Amino acid sequence: MSEQEKNAPYLDKRSSRRTFIKNSGLTVGGVVLGGALGSLLGKDSTTQTHETGVHSTATAVNFNQALMYFDKAQFDTIDAAAEQIFPKSEVGPGAKELLVTYYIDHQLAGSWGLNSKEYMSAPFYPAEASSLFGHQTHLNRQQIFNLGIEALNSEAAKQYKAKFSEITEEEQVSILQAFEEGEVTLNGAVTSTYFFALLKSATIEGAYADPLYGGNKDMAGWKMKNFPGHQMSYANIIEKDEFVKIEPTSLNSQHKH
Partner 1 sequence: MAKKLPKTDIVLAGVGWTGGIIAAELTKKGYKVVGLERGKERKTEDYLMVHDELRYQQRNEMMQDLSKETLTVRHDRSKRALPYRQHGSFLIGDGVGGSGEHWNGLTYRFFPYDFEIYSKTVERYGKDKIPADMPLQDWGITYNELVPYFEKFEAMAGISGETNPHPEVPEVKYPTVPLKETPSMKMFKEASKKLGYHPYIAPAATLSESYTNPDGISRAACQYCGFCERFGCEYGAKASPVVTVLPVAKETGNFEVRTHCVVRKVLHTNGKATGVLYVDTRTGEEYIQEADVVVVSAYALNNIRILLNSQLGSPYNPESGTGVIGKNYAYQMTSAASTGFFKEKEFNLYAGTGSLAGVIDDFNGDNFDHTDLNFIHGGNIALGHYGKRPISNNSVPKGTPTWGKEFKDESIYWTNRSLSVGSQGSVMPNKENYIDLDPTYKDQFGDPLLRMTFNYKDNERNQQKYIRDITTKILEEMGADIINSPGDQEDWDTTKYQTTHNTGGVIMGADSKTSALNNYLQMWDCENVFVPGASAFPHNSGMNPTGTVGALAYRAAEGIEKYLKNGGSLV
Binding residues among 148-187 for partner 1 as defined by CB under 8 A: 173, 176
User: Which residues make beta-bridge pairs with 28?
Assistant: 31
Of 1, 2, 28, 42, the one binding partner 1 by CB under 8 A: 28
Of 89, 158, 161, 170, the one binding partner 1 by CB under 8 A: 89
* Spatial contact of 155 and 164, defined as CB atoms under 8 Å apart: yes
Q: What are the DSSP calls for 116-176, one per residue?
A: TTS--PSP--GGG--GGG----S--HHHHHHHHHHHHHHHHHHHHSS-GGGS-HHHHHHHH
Q: Note whether 205 binds partner 1 by CB under 8 A.
A: yes
Stretch that binds partner 1, among 29-37, 46-54, 66-74, 184-192 (CB under 8 A): 29-37
Stretch that binds partner 1, among 7-15, 115-123, 145-153, 157-165 (CB under 8 A): 115-123
* Spatial contact of 167 and 160, defined as CB atoms under 8 Å apart: yes
Sign, CA torsion 38/53/66/137: positive
Give the contact letters, 209-238, x = binds to partner 1 (CB under 8 A), - = no. xx-xx-------xx-xxxxxxxxxxxx-xx
Helices and strands counted in the chain (H then E): 10, 2
Of 11, 12, 34, 53, the one binding partner 1 by CB under 8 A: 34
Q: Note whether 243 binds partner 1 by CB under 8 A.
A: yes
Sign, CA torsion 222/81/99/212: positive
Cβ proximity to partner 1, 24 vs 154, nearer residue: 24
* Spatial contact of 99 and 220, defined as CB atoms under 8 Å apart: no
Give the contact letters, 67-86, x = binds to partner 1 (CB under 8 A), - = no. -----------------xxx
Q: Note whether 189 binds partner 1 by CB under 8 A.
A: no
Of 123, 158, 161, 170, the one binding partner 1 by CB under 8 A: 123
Stretch that binds partner 1, among 27-35, 67-75, 144-152, 153-161 (CB under 8 A): 27-35
Q: What does the CA dihedral 195, 198, 200, 203 come to, rounded to 10 degrees?
A: -130
